[in-house]
């Protein structure tokens, strides 16, 4: 007999699939918004709403807001209260931070406005990362019809996403002169914590397999966390080179590689490509 | 009510497979959308009458303009959600009316952008005026289409309640 969560999963699977695809699209739009935003912040000096870079960022962020609202509402219809609530809060935060972008477009030379916009938008991106991670983990479990239980690797992946978010916020604060020293130290600290946690995800994923007492072991998670570790190491290396050389190109690369870390951690949570499916069928 | 009567009542009705609770939740979203439509209309008229006088342009960071733009974002998101719910839960008319509203909002917003880019005032030329009219007319059309989608959701709720279904 199925337990309540499995029974719920079994009945709601056909309707939950579109929600799962929407969460993947939401994560992709978040990544694109972040990359386009970093590109605007670093390369555009006289910001104006009709510049192609600003329009691209605006378009990507609009898609992200739209998908966040959609995921929140569809999750509410499916009875997924936590997923719905977190996405609703993220939706409100993103709309409010979007309005700081409008304020920046009106006062492009104001240093305070630049700092407020940078920090609030980065905070929105940073909150979006763990929220999309949680939504994906919860919904992909229901979609597969497996019980909702948190493995040590999954918990560590959430914490790694949280640490990555804080690293991004601290990095954004470094663009403000009064906060520079504190922000750089905090950014480096959180970046080191992120590296340690991604390494932890890798180790715990391997250990879960070695124990093999759990039927929910995901061997792909080892590969994804290894790729995440490689990405976070490259991002860290880029940061060090930027600090010593001052070349902005390294800063852009660091931000863009950070998106890869987010992507690999998200895939490690969702594990969409189940390579062991055939083996399970044979069993 | 007997099964035959229920079947007769349900014949030709579009109740979808969302269920009563989901329909009520969607109806609340539609109500919220109408409040947003109202805010959008009031802020738009306020800007037109008291700030630009229909002649001058408005700064993008003006508070009334920011409220207007945030309302526009919410309006689009809410209308889009109702459309997707219609498609996902087999409510064709709700989906089609909302799709019409979404298209109107997109074209209306493009009209607004052309209006601003070509001068943004009554005296800025024929293209500006045409873009302004397109924006206003399509906004009203979107409002009517959202209204009809809401009526269909209300109808589905009434039918489910009449047949004691959830």
pLDDT of B70: 93
Nearest to A77 among B18, B74, B117 (CB): B18
- A-chain residues within 8 Å CB-CB of B66? 99, 102-103
Phi-psi category of A48—alpha, beta or left, where left has phi over 0 and alpha has psi -120 to 50? beta
Instruction: For residues A210 and A260, state if they share a domain.
Output: yes
User: Which among A50, A70, A107 has the least Cβ separation from residue B84?
Assistant: A70
With bands split at pLDDT 50, 70 and 90, how would you rate the model's confidence at A26? very high
pLDDT of A9 > 70? The answer is no
Number of domains within chain A? 2
* pLDDT tens-digit readout, B14-57: 888 888 999 999 999 999 999 999 999 999 999 888 888 877 77
Neighbours of A95 (CB within 10 A): 18
On whether both A252 and A242 belong to a single domain, the answer is yes
Determine contact: B18 vs chain A, CB below 8 A: yes
Q: pLDDT tens across A153-181, in order?
A: 788 888 898 999 999 888 888 877 788 88
Q: What is the pLDDT of residue A14?
A: 57
Coarse DSSP helix, strand, coil percentages of chain A, rounded to the nearest 5 percent: 85, 0, 15
Predicted confidence at residue B80, as pLDDT, reads 96
Name which of A82, A81, A78, A66 is nearest A18 in CA terms.
Answer: A78
Q: How large is the ipTM?
A: 0.89
Residue A65: pLDDT band (50, 70, 90) is: very high
Rg (CA), chain A: 20
In a domain, A229, yes or no: yes
- Among residues A171, A166, A161, the alpha carbon closest in space to that of A41 is found at A171
* Residue ending a domain, choose from A93, A122, A147: A147
Asked if B115 reaches chain A (Cβ–Cβ under 8 Å), the answer is no
Helix, coil or strand: residue A236 = helix
- Weakest mean pLDDT among A8-17, A234-243, B59-68: A8-17
A25/A44 same-domain check: yes
SS3 content of chain B, % helix, strand, coil (to 5): 80, 0, 20
Domain boundary residue among A128, A147, A166? A147
Token output for A158: 């959430």
Q: Domain check: are A107 and A162 in the same one?
A: no
Domain contains B7:
no
Q: Is the pLDDT of residue A217 over 70?
A: no
Residue A210: pLDDT band with limits 50, 70, 90: low
* pLDDT of res. B9: 67
Does any domain span residue A2?
no
Tell whether A124 and A187 lie within a shared domain.
no
The nearest alpha carbon in chain B to A61 belongs to: B73
**Burial of B39 by CB count in 10 Å (0-12 exposed, 13-18 middle, 19+ buried)?**
middle
Please indicate, yes or no, whether residues A202 and A91 belong to a single structural domain of this protein: no
CB of B51 within 8 Å of a chain A CB? The answer is: no
- Which residues of chain A lie closer than 8 angstroms to B73, CB-CB? 62, 65, 95, 98
- For B65-117, write each residue's pLDDT tens digit: 899 999 999 999 999 999 999 999 989 999 999 999 999 999 999 998 888 88
Inter-chain CB proximity A70 and B81 less than 8 Å: yes
In this prediction, residues A238-246 reach a mean pLDDT of 87
Q: In this model, does residue A5 exceed pLDDT 60?
A: no
Shared-domain flag, residues A155 and A246: yes
Number of C-alpha atoms within 13 angstroms, CB side, residue A282?
Answer: 4
Q: Which domain holds residue B74?
A: 20-162
Residues B132 and B113: their CA atoms lie apart, in Å, by 9
Question: What percent of chain B stands above pLDDT 90?
Answer: 57
Q: Is the dihedral of CA B19, B24, B25, B27 positive or negative?
A: positive
Which three-class secondary structure string do you get for A87-121?
Answer: HHHHHHHHHHHHHHHHHHHHCCCCHHHHHHHHHHH
Q: What is the pLDDT at residue B30?
A: 96
Q: Examine the pLDDT at A3 and tell me if it is beyond 50.
A: no
Measured between beta carbons, which residues in chain B are less than 8 angstroms from residue A104?
Answer: 61
Q: Cβ of A107 and B61 within 8 Å?
A: yes
In chain A, % of residues over pLDDT 90: 33
Taking one residue from A and the other from B, the number of pairs with CB-CB distance under 8 angstroms is: 56
Structure-token match 């996902």, residue found: B88
Q: What is the pLDDT of residue B154?
A: 95
- Summarised one tens digit per residue, pLDDT across range B127-145 is 988 998 999 999 999 999 9
Task: Please judge whether A77 and B25 are an interchain contact, meaning their C-beta atoms are less than 8 angstroms apart.
Answer: yes
CB B102 within 8 A of CB B80: yes
Give the pLDDT score at A147. 64
> Is residue A280 situated within a structural domain?
no
Give me the pLDDT at residue A7, please: 45
pLDDT at B48: 85
Give mean pLDDT, residues B143-150.
Answer: 95
Q: For residue B33, what pLDDT is reported?
A: 96
Domain extent for A48: 10-147
| Cβ <8 Å between B61 and A106 | yes
| Assigned domain for A281 exists | no
Please report which confidence band the pLDDT of residue A4 belongs to, taking 50, 70 and 90 as the band edges.
Answer: very low
């Amino acid at each position: 007999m199925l337990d309540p969560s499995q029974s719920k999963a079994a009945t709601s699977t056909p309707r939950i699939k579109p929600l799962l695809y929407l969460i993947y699209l939401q994560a992709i739009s978040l990544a694109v918004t972040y990359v386009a935003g970093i590109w605007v912040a670093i390369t555009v000096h006289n910001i104006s709403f009709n510049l192609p870079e600003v329009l691209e960022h605006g378009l990507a962020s609009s898609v992200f807001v739209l998908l966040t609202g959609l995921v929140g509402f569809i999750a509410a219809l499916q009875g997924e209260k936590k997923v719905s609530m977190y996405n609703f809060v993220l939706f409100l935060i993103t709309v409010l931070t979007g309005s700081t972008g409008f304020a920046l477009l009106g006062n492009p030379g104001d240093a305070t406005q630049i700092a407020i916009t940078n920090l609030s938008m980065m905070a929105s991106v940073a909150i979006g990362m763990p929220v999309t991670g949680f939504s994906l983990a919860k919904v992909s479990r229901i979609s597969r019809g497996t019980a909702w239980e948190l493995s040590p690797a999954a918990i560590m992946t959430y914490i790694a996403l949280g640490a990555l978010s804080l690293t991004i916020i601290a990095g954004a604060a470094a663009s403000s002169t009064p906060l520079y020293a504190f922000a750089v130290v905090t950014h480096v600290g959180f970046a080191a914590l992120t590296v340690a946690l991604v390494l932890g995800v890798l180790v715990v994923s391997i250990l879960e397999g070695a124990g093999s007492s759990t039927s929910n072991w995901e061997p792909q998670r080892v590969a994804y966390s290894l790729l995440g570790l490689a990405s976070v190491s490259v991002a860290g290396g880029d940061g060090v080179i930027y600090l010593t050389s001052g070349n902005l190109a390294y800063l852009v690369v660091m931000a863009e590689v950070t998106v890869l870390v987010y992507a690999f951690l998200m895939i490690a949570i969702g594990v969409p490509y189940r390579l062991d499916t055939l083996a399970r069928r044979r069993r | 009510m007997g099964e035959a009567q229920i079947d007769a009542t349900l014949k030709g009705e579009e109740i979808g497979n969302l269920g009563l609770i989901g329909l009520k939740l969607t109806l609340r979203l539609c109500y919220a959308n109408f409040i947003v439509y109202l805010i959008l209309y009031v802020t738009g008229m306020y800007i037109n009458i008291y700030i630009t006088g229909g002649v001058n342009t408005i700064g993008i960071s003006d508070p009334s303009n920011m409220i207007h733009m945030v309302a526009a974002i919410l309006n689009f998101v809410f209308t889009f959600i109702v459309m997707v719910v219609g498609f996902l839960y087999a409510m064709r008319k709700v989906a089609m009316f909302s799709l019409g509203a979404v298209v109107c909002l997109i074209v209306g917003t493009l009209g607004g952008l052309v209006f601003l880019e070509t001068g943004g005032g009554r005296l800025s030329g024929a293209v500006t005026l045409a873009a302004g009219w397109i924006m206003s007319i399509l906004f009203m059309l979107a409002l009517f289409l959202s209204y009809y989608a809401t009526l269909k959701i209300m109808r589905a709720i009434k039918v489910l309640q009449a047949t004691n279904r959830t």
